[in-house]
Amino acid sequence: MLKRTLFISNPCYISTRFEQLVLKNKKTDEEKTVPIEDLGFVVFENGECTFSLQAISKLNENNVAAIFCNDKHLPTSLLLNLDANDIQSQLFSYQINAAEPLKKQLWQQTIKAKILNQAGVLQSLGIEIETLKRCAANIKSGDTSNEEAKASRYYWSRLFNYENLIVSLSRFNVELLVGFTRSRFGDPPNNLFNYGYAILRAATARALAGSGLLPTLGIHHHNKYNAFCLADDIMEPYRPFVDKLVYEIIKEGTDYSTLTTPIKSRLLGLLTVDVQINNSTSPLMVGLSQTTASLAECFKKKRKTIKYPSF
């Protein structure tokens, strides 16, 4: 079942009643309820939200990805259930003891899928993709030749240089895109990418936990300060779906210098975008669960490939 996404921007008292999440507006006393079992993601943007412990517990029990934003309205933390799978300790053991060659092979698959999806984005815009196809074909185990970086340079240098995009934009938006460089701390539209990737990261962590895996133990990313290394690995082939959505927002001529509520709502719609895995179409959040379930099977040595979407 496709889970619902809630975006809460008003100050609320958040509690539960009869397995319903109760949202009571602090200013108007207006009360709304929603079945907790229907929820997949809840984004809490307002810093004045007040929670009951029972509400947090119920969200956790139902494997709801509760995402909390900072004072700049950007997602910064996630409530994650670490007891969402019946055979979790066994899966943890498989994951922890995974051999280095296996992890390198899985990373090779991951980067190849990412580059091919980047090629899919450019191809949909009528941009030449032979360079990306060569990068994908040349990836070795562990990506020792760093084809990911080569592909990234080509991809980002062309994504916003498409003539039809520039023609459709206002002077304001054109000026922002001149010399655009993808950087976490860069100028707009980096703010759109950051928000979209943060939502994707949370969705990936939720799917990993649901498949009984630790989001912390990566197959490639390793950082003692990062609690979501595996999520950062597995989300890579899904990033181009964020990129295409951001591209569409920009092409419409929207003022993206600031993250408005309509833009954030649009980016949250990423979770329901259709993706194709093995010729089967499903919403992105469902596709992520297929991907993480196949990864768990790889750790158990019951399959050799991860199910990733193709753009």
Taking only the tens of pLDDT, the chain with its 311 residues reads 678 889 999 999 999 999 999 999 999 999 999 999 999 889 999 989 999 999 999 998 888 889 998 887 778 888 877 666 556 778 889 999 999 999 999 999 999 999 999 999 999 999 999 999 999 999 999 899 999 999 999 999 899 875 556 656 666 676 667 778 888 888 889 999 999 999 999 999 989 988 889 888 999 988 777 878 999 999 999 999 999 999 999 988 888 888 999 999 999 999 999 999 998 999 999 999 999 999 999 999 999 999 999 98
- Indicate the Cα dihedral angle 245, 111, 219, 235, nearest 10°: 10
Over residues 66-94, the pLDDT tens digits come to 999 888 777 888 887 766 655 677 888 99
- The residues of the chain that CATH labels 1.20.120.920 are 88-299
* φ and ψ at residue 220, rounded to 5 degrees: -135, -50
What CATH topology corresponds to 4-79? Ribosomal Protein L15; Chain: K; domain 2 (3.100.10)
Give the distance from CA 146 to its chain's centroid.
Answer: 23
What is the pLDDT at residue 225? 72
* pLDDT score at 179: 72
Q: What is d(CA 182, CA 243) in angstroms, rounded to the nearest whole number? A: 11
CATH number of this structure's domain 88-299, picked from the four choices 1.10.10.10, 3.30.450.20, 3.10.400.10, 1.20.120.920? 1.20.120.920
Place of tokens 């207006």: 30
Is-contact 237 292, C-beta < 8 A?
no
Task: Answer left, alpha or beta for residue 3, where phi above 0 means left and psi between -120 and 50 means alpha.
Answer: beta
54 closest CA partner among 90, 86, 14: 14
What are the distances in angstroms from CA 114 to CA 111, 239, 309?
5, 8, 9
Q: Which amino acid makes up residue 305?
A: T
Residues 6+ apart with CB under 8 A from 125: 159, 162, 164, 165, 247
Query: Where, residue-wise, is CATH 3.100.10.20 in the chain?
Result: 4-79
- Count of all residues that appear for the chain in the document: 311
In the chain, what is the straight-line distance between the N-terminal and C-terminal CA atoms, in Å? 23
Give the global pTM. 0.88
Q: What is the pLDDT of residue 80?
A: 73
Cis peptide before 189 (omega within 30 of 0): yes
CA–CA gap between residue 56 and residue 50 (Å, rounded): 11
pLDDT at position 87: 65
Which letter, b or e, does each residue of 169-183 get, where b requires 16 or more Cβ atoms within 10 Å of its Cβ? beeebeebbeebeee
**% pLDDT > 70, the chain:** 93
Residue 48 has a CB neighbour count (10 Å cut-off) of: 10
**What is the token pair recorded at 54?**
């029972």
Beta strands in 58-151 (DSSP E): 65-69, 75-79
Q: Are 181 and 156 in contact (CB under 8 A)?
A: yes
Hey, what long-range contacts does 171-179 have (CB within 8 A, 24 or more apart)? Answer: 172/255, 172/257, 173/250, 173/253, 173/255, 173/256, 176/256, 176/257, 177/250
The dihedral sign for the CA sequence 66, 68, 74, 75: negative
Rounded Cα–Cα distance for residues 7 and 159 (Å): 29
